[in-house]
Amino acid sequence: MYFWLIAVLLYVPLLLLMVLSVNDSITLGFPLKGFTLRWYQAALDNPIMLDALRNSLLLAVVSAFVATILGSLAAMAIVRFRFPGRTFLAAVTGAPLVIPFVIVGAALLVALRWAGFELSLWTVGVGQVVLCIPLAAIIVGSGVVGFDQALEEASMDLGATYAQTQLLVTLPILAPVLIASFITCVVSAFNEFAISVFLVGIEPVLPVYLYSQLRNTTSGPLIMAVASAVILTSFALVLVAWALQGGTRRGGRATPGSAKPASTKELDATLS
Amino acid sequence: MLVTPPGAALLMFFVLPLIAMLLFSFREGTFSPEREMFTLRHVVHFLEGRDVQRLLWESALTSAVISTIAVTLAYPLAYYLAFGARERRNILLLLVLLPAMTSYLLRVMAWKIILGSEGLLNTFLIWTGVTAEGFTGLLHNRNAVIVTLVYVWVPFAALPIFASLMRIDTRLFEGAADLGARPWETFGLITLPLSLPGIAGAFLFVFVPTLGEWVTPMLVGGTEGVMFGNIIQDTFTRGLNWPLGSVMSLAMISLTVVLLGVPVVVYRSFRKVRTRVA
């Protein structure tokens, strides 16, 4: 069926990368020559590669952490409260995802350098955070929407302060969504390329490093090896994040009004 | 108090930089002292550059083509997810989104290999006997850019369509069937119109980012597939002409606003007419 055709086609390019990463040939083409793991070994032996990898990992974790916090705060505010500027905040929170990355990157470059900052891992981090805030807000937001505020009310009725309620009731319940947001942001920030190119300094970042190696005709399979590793890890992490979000997502339709009633009794109940 | 941290962060690192870029358009040079602040030199330069402006239009056209194809391919996908899947819906949604959530750069790199003269596609064509030597014209042109970006964006395009399809009340289908409508009529008169907001949303969701695309054109586009984003990126990083780059970015933003604004205005006046008629 059409769906499966497209679904499979979506994976083919990625499988190609993985196949070429174990191909015993320095050229990235067909026919395939033989199975080897030496490219993975070569990647591990490459100090700059390891450096870039380390930087990217560190940066991704920190950026994801900051972005999740900021995104969650924004999501809570937007979903729960009415206040002047709410639409504006919602728009600005979601905007980085919709605006062409080249503009976000260029604008940050101009602004940060004008303010006197040198390009470094910090500047790359800023770019990653800006890009991940919308992601975090959307993911955590979906959890906040499904959150039953009666639980908070009950907690405060029983004597807890607002702060205690947030810490001991809301946070644990939202924990899966928060972690899902964190993981998704890590993957997103780690793989971020378009903005990093504008903001990267002397310290290498993995996507930018991989890109620079594309010019190098001998490092093709090595890039494939790293690429495959990144892809597989991204897959695994996204699956984990998805599983964590499962609790807050319903398998069926979102809005009660459009749900197909299971029986006429249910239909009567919703109508009355 | 919840709002301040994200609000401040976004303001500082998103809104302000955009404003900074706006101001930078009027600067004399990238690194010149502050007193040479205001000049329209770069604005004039851009407005006089016919080639660059034409490139902007062509990029917009390319983005429109990409968006249309992506939305068209994504619609059946979203349709199946919304109406065909039921219990397995979540897993299937995940299946479709998973490739899209890996590195964008790597996905484009993969297509560079697929379309290459010794790539997957050519090897397949030679193997099946369609052609003896393979095509060299698959890579390094505008079509390669379109194909690659469609591949990148189809999963994302499916999301808004899926969301709007899910919101349709299925009882409408029952009602239509009761009144004697055939499946195609139900689709054309009920499903499609009701999913129109999703389609429009998906189109824009693909159009706006692809307008500023430069990574894909750089990897698979060659000289023929250059897009406006490439010029901007080059002006900033290699050309070091930040004022000019800022002007170009603003031109792109303005074009986007105009292109988006027209349908919105049309839509609003259309609705007014409809309510008056009704």
Quote the minimal CA–CA distance from B153 to chain A in Å: 10
Residue B207's closest CA among B82, B68, B92? B68
For chain A, positions 239-268, list CB contacts with chain B under 8 A. 239, 242, 246, 249, 251-255, 257-258, 260-261
Of A44-58, A209-223, B97-111, give the lowest mean pLDDT range. A209-223
The dihedral formed by the CA atoms of A3, A5, A8 and A12, expressed in degrees to the nearest 10 = -140
CB contact under 8 A, B14 and A249: no
pLDDT band at A227 (very low <50, low <70, confident <90, very high): confident
Cβ-based contacts of A7 with chain B (< 8 Å): 92, 95-96
**pLDDT tops 50 at residue A260:** no
A167-218 pLDDT, tens per residue? 787 888 888 888 989 999 999 999 988 888 888 888 888 888 888 888 777 7
Provide the percentage of residues in chain A whose pLDDT is more than 70. Answer: 89
Residue B1: which pLDDT band, with cuts at 50, 70 and 90?
A: low
| Other Cβ atoms within 10 Å of B128 Cβ, number | 8
Asked if B105's CB is within 8 angstroms of A210's CB, the reply is: yes
Q: Which of B4-8, B86-90, B226-230 has the highest mean pLDDT?
A: B226-230
Q: How confident is the model at residue B28 (pLDDT cuts 50, 70, 90)?
A: low
Q: Which one is predicted more confidently, A237 or A249? A: A237
Tell me how far apart the alpha carbons of residues A29 and A23 are, in angstroms, rounded to a whole number.
9
Concatenating the DSSP letter of every residue in chain A gives -HHHHHHHHHHHHHHHHHHHHTBS-SSS-SSP--B--HHHHHHHH-HHHHHHHHHHHHHHHHHHHHHHHHHHHHHHHHHH---TTHHHHHHHHHHHHHS-HHHHHHHHHHHHHHTTPPPSHHHHHHHHHHHHHHHHHHHHHHHHHT--HHHHHHHHHTT--HHHHIIIIIHHHHHHHHHHHHHHHHHHHHH--TTHHHH--SS--HHHHHHHHTT-GGGHHHHHHHHHHHHHHHHHHHHHHHHHHGGGS-SS-SSGGGSPPSSHHHHHHHH-
Please check the confidence at residue A264 and state whether its pLDDT lies above 50. no
pLDDT reported for residue B151? 93
* Contact across the interface for A114 and B123, Cβ inside 8 Å: no
Residue B147 in tokens: 């194909």
Choose among B112, B97, B120: nearest CA to B218.
Answer: B112
Give me A203's structure tokens.
């310290």
Q: Which residues contact B74 (CB under 8 A, 6 or more apart)?
A: B154, B155, B157, B158, B161, B202
For residues B181 and B160, what is the distance between their CA atoms, to the nearest angstrom? 27
pLDDT at B82 over 50: yes
Widest CA span of chain B, in angstroms? 76
Write down the pLDDT at residue B41: 73
Q: Which helix (H) or strand (E) holds B153?
A: helix B142-166
pLDDT at B171 over 70: yes
Q: What is the pLDDT of residues B238-248, one digit of tens each?
A: 888 888 888 88
Q: Confidence class of residue B148 from pLDDT cuts 50, 70 and 90?
A: very high
Interface test with B, best of A4, A14, A89, A102 (most B CBs within 10 A): A102
pLDDT band at A265 (very low <50, low <70, confident <90, very high): very low
- Whole-number Å distance between alpha carbons of B227 and A194: 15
**Residue A61 pLDDT grade (very low, low, confident, very high; cuts 50, 70, 90):** very high
| Angle made by CA atoms A179, A183, A189, in degrees to the nearest 5 | 140
Check whether B26 has a pLDDT greater than 70. Answer: yes
Mean pLDDT of A29-49: 81
Average pLDDT, chain A: 81
Asked if residues B149 and B210 have their Cβ atoms less than 8 Å apart, the reply is yes
B42 vs B168, more confident: B168
- The answer on pLDDT for A157 being more than 90 is no
Q: What is the pLDDT of residue A241?
A: 87
Does A254 score more than 60 pLDDT?
A: no
Residue B276 clears pLDDT 60, i.e. is over it: no
Question: Is the predicted pLDDT of residue A266 greater than 60, yes or no?
Answer: no
Predicted pLDDT at B63 = 92
Q: What is the mean pLDDT of chain B?
A: 81
Q: Is A110 within 8 Å of B14 when comparing Cβ atoms?
A: no
Confidence band, pLDDT 50/70/90 cuts, at residue A272: very low
> Cis omega before residue A256 (within 30°)?
no
Section B11-27 average pLDDT = 77
What pLDDT sits at residue A256? 36
Cβ neighbours around B169 below 10 Å, total: 16
For the ranges A24-28, A117-121, A131-135, A161-165, the one whose mean pLDDT is highest = A131-135
Give residue B271's pLDDT: 67
Residue with tokens 């986007």: B256
Residues of A (138-177) whose Cβ lies below 8 Å from B: none
Instruction: Look at residue B233 and tell me whether its pLDDT is greater than 50.
Output: yes
- Alpha-carbon distance of A62 to A128, in angstroms, equals 10
Biggest CA pair distance of chain A:
72
B106:A230 CB<8 A: yes
Cβ atoms of B155 and B96 closer than 8 Å? yes
Residue partners of B36: CB distance under 8 A and separation at least 6: B27, B28, B29
How many beta carbons lie within 10 A of that of residue A151, not counting itself?
Answer: 13
ipTM: 0.80
Which of A210-214, B22-26, B168-172 has the lowest average pLDDT? B22-26
B149-163 pLDDT, tens per residue? 999 999 999 999 998
Task: Determine the distance in angstroms separating the CA of B123 from the nearest CA of chain A, rounded to an integer.
Answer: 7
CB B200 within 8 A of CB B68: no
Average pLDDT of the residues in A54-73:
91
**pLDDT over threshold 80, residue A253:** no
